[in-house]
Amino acid sequence: MTDINITEKNITEINDTSAFTLVRQDNGIAKLIMDVVGDSMNTLKAEFSEQISQVLTEIRADKSITGLLLISGKKGSFVAGADINMLAGCQTAEEATALSRQGQVIFDQLESLPIPVVAVIDGPCLGGGLELAMACHARVCSDNPKTALGVPEVQLGLLPGGGGTQRLPKLVGIQKALDMMLTGKQLRAKQALKAGLVNDVVPQSILLVTAEKLAISGKVKASKRKVSFLDKLLEGNSIGRKIIFSQARKTVLAKTKGNYPAPLKIIDCVRMGAEQSPAKGYQTEADHFGQLVVSPESAQLQNLFFATTDMKKEEGIEGVTAEKVNKVAVLGGGLMGGGIAFVTATKAKLPIRIKDISHQGISHALKYGYDLLAKKVKRRFIRHSEMQQQLSLITGTIDYSGFADVDIVVEAVFEDLSLKQKMVADVEDNCRETTIFASNTSSLPIGQIAAKALRPENVIGLHYFSPVDKMPLAEIIAHEKTSDQTISTTVAFAKKQGKTPIVVKDKAGFYVNRILAPFMNEAAILLLEGEPIDKIDKALVNFGFPVGPMQLLDEVGIDVGAKISPILQAELGERFAAPAAFDKLIADGRLGKKVKKGIYLYGGKASGKKKQVDESIYTLLGVTPAGKLTEQQIAQRCTYMMLNEAVRCLDESIVRNARDGDIGAIFGIGFPPFLGGPFRLVDSIGAVALVNQLNSLAKQYGERFTPCDALVKMAEQGSTCYE
């Protein structure tokens, strides 16, 4: 109970037999302190049900208690949510439904206490934690930047199962509640106050005093929120509510393509509570919660959660502790350089020096960070003073001044081997002997970049994905001479930047681009066979990818994709040979979105919100769009090429294990999270079935579909990727 002083004179009793401690004060106000022993953050567990039920019965029976404060014993954290392991233990939907009902009953007991109950919130208040707080009669939170309120269960394929789908709409309105629950969006303290979710926001130093005064006053009704005329019109009658739920359903299906069941069930819970009765709403919530907990989609999203949680605890090389990084530099002020500088200053909170050949390049990199931070200030996510503080960490130079004490230099120049080798030499001349040289290359082998280095043990690959401020993955590529110390330090540095790093082997394409290339090539082959561009993209988006391969090609740059293919083909074989379509597109100046000429229309030629295909591309490629295949056949051909290559990568130890490969595909290229990643999908399909289907595709379309030896071996042995 690190943030609660329990040596006050007015304490009359401490009951410390569970995660809940009841502290009575002689002014009638009691503090119910939650502090889960052995955990860094509070989470709700099934075994707490009896504990909290007992203490609530005790409070109800004690007439000397006239008010109750619900407090966390964890400094800077309220309750992070329910313990996911508890849900993983449910074997049936009925078991999960019973858990939901249990939580609803406990929170109802809290809400029905005849005395004022105030939740005292400092730090994260998420999921079941917010449901607990909403069962209190009032909520006061600190203005701590870490204070965040939300119900992110949808990100695990679930819904709030402790009454949250019923209480949240009553506090913030139906539309705001749906927005929060369907996206997992978290509100900062002031946003929560404006929405009506909390009664007051105060500095941390007076948080307890303010909550106590509120409990003593007895004025603990929910905070009044500003309701617009349109909100009243829509939410105040059945016709308006019907419009809200109908529109919410359309929006969800447009975004999820029906691949995620949780959002639709959330809408149904809110609708039941609003249109029929609260009792019906609670029952629907419990039933839907039970069904979702045992759904395959939630199982894969929970797997992903556990995998990323485990990775956060791991070192780059087991037993090798990272060296502390105090100062960073980046070579190149382009989009990648600007993005790397931004996440270093804002996430890692480290000073970073940008070197470019021109002042203009430095200005562009600085403007990149300024524009992103200015948006945050405008939306009131951060103060203007915080923006200035973060920008002050970024400086620029056109020489190597200020590099003498840099711990790690990230190179983000053009994909030119001789240029990168010169950068290595320059860094070795101008930095310390221990300075790490990390190359943000997407295709060039790190061993070649380090070939002329005096200290090759300091050279490593650190491959970011664009845009750097949004994409969560970083590939850490160690060549054969990279030291273990360099690996661990680089992994730790990437984590500080807010990235999820995976360590991969130094081979052409590394991991992500290597499995992406056959996927993209197959899409181009489908185009040359006469499948319409928008149909190809729609097929893969409906399958679960965020964008289709053709749109992705336009976004990344057709010339960028074309540069990678020859490198992969030279090192890995003919299956990586790029279709002729790419050369024809480049020859016609179609480099994609960046030049406003590519596969889709841009600028004045485009009309409406929906992306339009540049129909002239069919004439250029000499094809007549016919569309003979189904969407399922298109998706299968592209994704099966990726799955086959992913198994090769696992067999060749390009990735350390299937878990890293799945995280790399989901975070790096948007592989559908509800499928768990390529290796989870291989295991779901089964090696035998996948080999048979690939052999069938090989007979129809060519040898590129031939199942790799490792996959055939898996089928013969009855083994899986996750063994």
Which structure tokens are listed for 599? 């596969």
Q: How far apart are CA 531 and CA 148, in angstroms?
A: 47
Q: Which helix (H) or strand (E) holds 478?
A: strand 473-478
Phi-psi region of 127 (alpha: psi -120 to 50; beta: other; left: phi over 0): left
Which structure tokens are listed for 719? 């083994």
Backbone angles phi, psi at 11, to 5 degrees: -80, 130
The CA R_g of the chain, rounded to the nearest whole Å, is: 28
* End-to-end Cα separation, the chain, in angstroms: 42
| Of 307, 289, 331, the residue nearest 436 (C-alpha) | 331
Q: How far apart are CA 218 and CA 176, in angstroms?
A: 27
| Of 372, 460, 357, 470, the residue nearest 413 (C-alpha) | 357
| Catalytic entry in 235, 285, 475, 531 | 475
Neighbours of 569 (CB within 10 A): 16
Residue that is written with structure tokens 């233990």 in the block = 89
Write the burial class of residue 601 (CB in 10 Å: 0-12 exposed, 13-18 middle, 19+ buried): middle
Q: Which helix (H) or strand (E) holds 369?
A: helix 359-378
3-state secondary structure of 599: coil
Residue 475: active-site member:
yes
| Of 23, 98, 6, the residue nearest 67 (C-alpha) | 23
- Helices 48-61, 93-111: crossing angle, 10 deg rounding: 20
CA distances from 636 to 96, 162, 212, 545, 605 (A): 34, 39, 61, 13, 33
Q: How far apart are CA 489 and CA 336, in angstroms?
A: 21
User: Any long-range contacts for 712-717 (C-beta under 8 Å, 24+ apart)?
Assistant: 714/647, 714/687, 715/687, 715/688, 715/690, 715/691
Q: How far apart are CA 345 and CA 341, in angstroms?
A: 6
Phi-psi region of 410 (alpha: psi -120 to 50; beta: other; left: phi over 0): beta
- Helices 164-172, 262-275: crossing angle, 10 deg rounding: 70
Cβ proximity of 340 and 329 under 8 Å: no
Q: How far apart are CA 411 and CA 437, in angstroms?
A: 7
Active site residues: 475
